[in-house]
Structure 1
Amino acid sequence: MLKDFRPVLGILLRFIIVYLVLLFSYQFYLNHFKEFGLDPFSKIIAEQVSYLQNWLGYPTKLYNDVPQEQVWFYVKKRYVTRMVEGCNAVSVMILFVSFILAFYKGKKTFIFLVLGLALLYIMNVLRIVGLNIVVRDYKEYGKMFHDYIFPAAIYGTVVALWLIWIKFFALKHENS
């Protein structure tokens, strides 16, 4: 009976191991930068968001609030939002990587991972830009976009990538 579940248990075990290793590694990384404010990866995202907003005609400056471990976006002469560690989408990316590696299929796994992570990164930068613009110009919709619309977009992208991976790569027979 256990033989029937062996493939499923293997996938589940791989997922759990990869997820925990990545999660603890990320926490170690965050702990290392705690006294310096927001972690470097999140700061890079904030700077890219600022650059893109300036390019789009939304003059943006960043205020690094070290004690609170956050960066404030000052858009068109108003503080509109703040970026904390959770805004960098790393937790979403860890979940994505864990799932894809659970269904490991050789070299194409890593190609799909790189392309998927690049797409998630871009989606996240655009999500923060969109949120800043909504909060700056349409404040009454800010909560709805922050809590529902943009999370649905980023998690929807992850689910779509998972479905693509399963349908076209993980379950596809090598001889087909």
Structure 2
Amino acid sequence: MRALLVKYKSVIRFIVTFLVVYGVMTTGYNFYLNGSDGSKFYPDYLTNLVAEQTKALLNGFGYETKVLPHPNEPSMKIVINGKYVARVIEGCNAISIIILFISFIVAFAGRWKSTLFYCLAGSILIYAFNLIRIVILSVGLYHYPWRQEIMHTVIFPMLIYGVVFLLWMVWVNRFSKTIKSNA
């Protein structure tokens, strides 16, 4: 048993680090969500921010867009040219994806400065890409509502998770000291 632990020490360290970071960040995020009273920003600040930024981008592209609180659930409705096309829920704000991204990067840590910088830069990139994803999805739903299922459940999740995967691969192959030390 000891020989197996020694042999797979780096794998075990990765798994434990990943799970601890993911658990701590997810727990912290859940405390944030449960502590958000929704009085100023509905349903929570980050989801509200994503909805408002989506509105600003859509308006910038010439679509008359409004964002309204959903009356029956904690979400924001996106209305383009008077047509309700989508809703922004907590899962649309990319925070869960960013937590997953950061957990992996920390588990495959490089030097602390490069790890911190990559986590920050990657998080900003994921957030921005997610925002663009929501804008394109909203326009797609406005023009092609019958394609909702494939756009929302296949194409756009594949794109956002594909970006995260590419960022992970760049990290592992270019910056992580774990791979270099085992090579």
TM tier, shorter chain? over 0.9
Q: Which residue of 2 aligns with 1:141?
A: 147
Q: Which residue of 2 aligns with 1:91?
A: 96
**Aligned pairs for 1:1-176 within 5 A:** 1=3, 2-33=5-36, 36=39, 37-65=42-70, 68-105=73-110, 106-170=112-176, 171=178, 173=180
Change (3 A) 1:67 1:29: farther
TM-score (norm 2): 0.90
Paired with 2:38 and 2:169, the residues of 1 have a C-alpha distance of 40
Q: Which runs of 5+ in 1 are unaligned?
A: none
* AA aligned opposite 2:107: A
* AA aligned opposite 1:111: F
Moved over 3 A (4+): 34-37, 171-174
1:118-138 deviation digits (Å, cap 9, x = unpaired): 110011001110111011111
Are the aligned partners of 2:141 and 2:148 in contact in 1 as well (CA < 8 Å)? Answer: yes
Percent identical pairs in the alignment equals 35
Tell me the C-alpha RMSD between the 2 structures. 1.5
Paired with 1:143 and 1:104, the residues of 2 have a C-alpha distance of 37
Kindly tell me the number of residue pairs found equivalent between the two proteins.
174
Q: Which runs of 5+ in 2 are unaligned?
A: none
